[in-house]
Each structure stands twice: as structure tokens, then as C-alpha cells.
Amino acid sequence: MALGCSIAAFAATPKLNDGIWRGTLEVKENTAPFLFEVSHRGADSTVVTLMNGEERVVLNGVSFKGDSVIIPIEPFDAQIRAAVMEGTLSGRFLKNYVKNDAGVRFAARFDNKLRFEPVATPISVALDGKWDVLFIDPKGEAEHNVGIFQTDKGIITGSVLTPSGDLRFLEGAYTQTGAHLSAFAGQSPYLLEVSFKDNNRFEGTFFTAKGKTRLEGTRNDKAGLADPYNQTHMKPGKDHLRFSLPNTDVKKVSLTDERYRGKVVIVSILGSWCPNCMDEMKYLAPWYKANKDRGVEVVGLAFERKDDFDYARAALLRMKKRYGTEYELLFGGQVGSEATGKALPEMEKVASYPTMIFIDKKGKVRKIHTGFNGPATGLFYKEFQHEFNALVDELLAE
């Protein structure tokens, strides 16, 4: 009887232990581990922080219902809902925007600070450096990507660059035959498992919640992607954008407005659901504050999961608050070629989110940059910043 009372009392007021937890999310035929930290700010405020390499994603608004915890992931309109037992969690990662989402199986254990269990005799080959990485689909067709990694005290960090962006902050460890790395920043769990064929080649698998893809890697100190300024184009004979779209105050905004006339303008095609778009805004928001008095403006064109202005407005306002964004964010419609084609008829197909368009003082489109290499990509991120600032300086000087 006393045991039953104590369980009931615990279930009514569950609590997460402060400190590091090790979570796992189900991916195709495997599980992707990740670390998160729980902290309490006051008696009634629980905060969960996702940890991947140097990245920290803070999740506020944690609540409890019955014997369960609900961890909202506002940037991606998702949540983790899990039953709380002593030192363990068991539940699902759910996408709120998907009706009756079955979710992804989630589990966690307190006070396990190791993302991957160490092996007694890890392989001596290092993953450090740049790699040409092929993602090979079931038909044998390969997409060329670039991996960049480094090792510190046995912990591997780095990322994989794709034509549309990167896989964010991967973190992992060596195995007896290769390495495994994972990440979870609130949208999709990632897991990479590779085995070295020799010092300069590996084979492996990239796992997500939806599927898995075969990998082949070749060490290459000069590895790089195709020119991101030559992937997306204006239609022949077109060199101006003539959109008129609503901002978060339900006011139509156009590049012919006084605010943009005679200025260099950067148009960012984005989505609140897009991790690389978040990395781009994290860079652009403070950059705009520091440079707006130089005669430059930024405009964000968002294409969201739903063709619903109120839904999109709420998502965009969360982004503005999160990054302190002072430039306009406009709603272009539901993500997909139909909405982008209608909002931006002067452009050929938008191939990637984000896409950045550089417009000169006369309103002419001068350059289009596809994708975004975020801070997880190290040297590639620094190269982007250098090229970005050089291009803006050039346009301002005209």
C-alpha cells in the first residue's frame, strides 16, 4: 500500500534530474545517440539544452502532465513527450505540424555523459581533414558532398557540406574499424557510421529517421563543392525581382519601397523549418545591425510548411525574437516550387533553402548564392564570411 502511494505521488509530480542525460532517437535500423543537459531556473522552470559539439540549443517551456514531461522544440514546431521514471525517460519525438504523427521512438538515461561507449582498441587512422564524400542512392546515383573533421582527446567533431548546406554539428568517437558520429538539434536525428578501407578511404552509412544512404569517402585536402554562386539563376532577360508580399505586420513589402530604394539589398529565401536557414539568420541578424547604416538592407522571404499566414506569422515572429532580427520577414506561401514560382516568377527554380540574392543600388540582381555553410563547417564558414563581405563592399562602392 505504501509503495503504491509513493508511485502515485511521483507520477503526479515528476522531476528531471539536473545534469547531463544521454538520449537516443530511432533511425532506420539503428539508434542515434545525443546528449542534453537539464537545469532548473527557479522552482517551476525546467530548461533542456541539446548538445552537439560546440552547439547548444536551448529549449524553454518544459512542462509536466501526469507522469510525463513535454519538451517543446519551438524552432521546428516539434516536441518530445516522454514518461518519467527515476533517472530514465521513454517516449516519442513528435512533429506538431503532422496530423496524427506516429513520431520517432525516444529514450534517455540520466548521468551518462558519453555519446558513444568507448572501445578498448580504437582504430589508429584519424578522420581529421577534408574528404570527398559520396552519398549513393539505391539506384547507384551519387551526390558529391564534402566532409571536414577534427579530433580532440578522442572526440571527433565536424560536419558534412552538401549543395544546400551542411549537416550541422556532428560529434562522435572512433570504433575498432572506423568512426561513428551523430547529431540532434531539434529537427531530425543524424547518424554516420564509417569503416576505413585504408588511411585515405572509408565506406559507411548515413542514417536518418526516414532512411539510410550508402557513403564512400576519399581523403582530399582540396575538397570543395561546386561554385555556390553558379547554381541558381534568373530567367533569360530578367534581372529585377518584383515581389509584393506581406510582412509579420500584414503589410505588403516590395523592393520599390522607399526603405530599399538606392540601396544594396540582400534577399534571403528561407524557411523557419530549415536548420541551415537558422544558421544564416544567426549570422545575418547581427551583421545587419552592424552594417545597416552603410546603405544596405536585408529582406527575408519565408516559405513555410503550411499555406496559412497565421501559422507562418507565428513561426517567423519566433525566429525574429530568437535572433533579434531587425529586417523584414515576408511570407511567400507554402514551401515548394509552386509558391516560389508565383512569388518569384523572374527566377529559375529555387533549388535550395537558404538561397541568398545580392541586388545592387539600381535594383539589379548581381549574384545568387545557393545554400549556406554554417559555423559547424569551420574553414568553409570563414571563407563564406570573407566572400560575403567582399561582395557587399564591392556593391556599396559602386
Spell out the domains of the chain, with CATH numbers in brackets. 2-110 (2.40.128.120), 129-219 (2.40.128.120), 228-397 (3.40.30.10)
Contacts 24+ apart (CB under 8 A), 241-245: 241/267, 241/344, 241/346, 241/347, 241/357, 241/359, 241/365, 242/346, 243/301, 243/330, 243/332, 243/343, 243/344, 245/301, 245/330, 245/331, 245/332, 245/343
Mean pLDDT calculated for residue range 139-148 = 95
Best CA proximity match to 395, nearest among 268, 284, 295, 254: 295
Residues 229 and 181: their CA atoms lie apart, in Å, by 30
Please tell me the pTM assigned to this model: 0.89
Q: How do residues 212-249 score in pLDDT, each as one tens digit?
A: 999 999 999 999 999 999 999 999 999 999 999 999 99
Question: Which among 359, 392, 366, 329 is positioned nearest to 262, based on CA atoms?
Answer: 359
First to last CA, the chain: 82
Residue 135 has phi, psi (to 5 degrees) of: -95, 115
Buried b (16+ CB within 10 A) or exposed e, 22-60: bbbbbbeebbbbbbbbbeeeeeeebbbbbbbbebebebe
- Rg of the chain over Cα atoms, rounded to whole angstroms, equals 23
Categorize the per-residue pLDDT at 13 as very low, low, confident or very high, splitting at 50, 70 and 90: low
Residue 216: Cβ within 10 Å count: 17
Q: What percent of the chain has pLDDT over 70?
A: 96
Q: For position 370, what pLDDT does the model report?
A: 96
**Each residue of 16-62: pLDDT tens digit?**
999 999 999 999 999 999 999 999 887 678 999 999 999 999 999 99
Q: Where does residue 164 rank: exposed (0-12), middle (13-18), buried (19+ CB within 10 A)?
A: middle
Residue 7 has pLDDT above 70, yes or no: no
Interval 84-138: pLDDT, tens? 998 999 999 999 999 999 999 999 999 888 999 999 999 999 999 999 999 999 9
pLDDT for 111:
87
Residue 34 vs residues 50, 80, 172: alpha-carbon distances, Å? 8, 14, 10
Please give the Cα distance from 317 to 255 (Å, whole number).
21
| Angle at alpha carbon of residue 19, lines to 14 and 23, rounded to 5° | 75
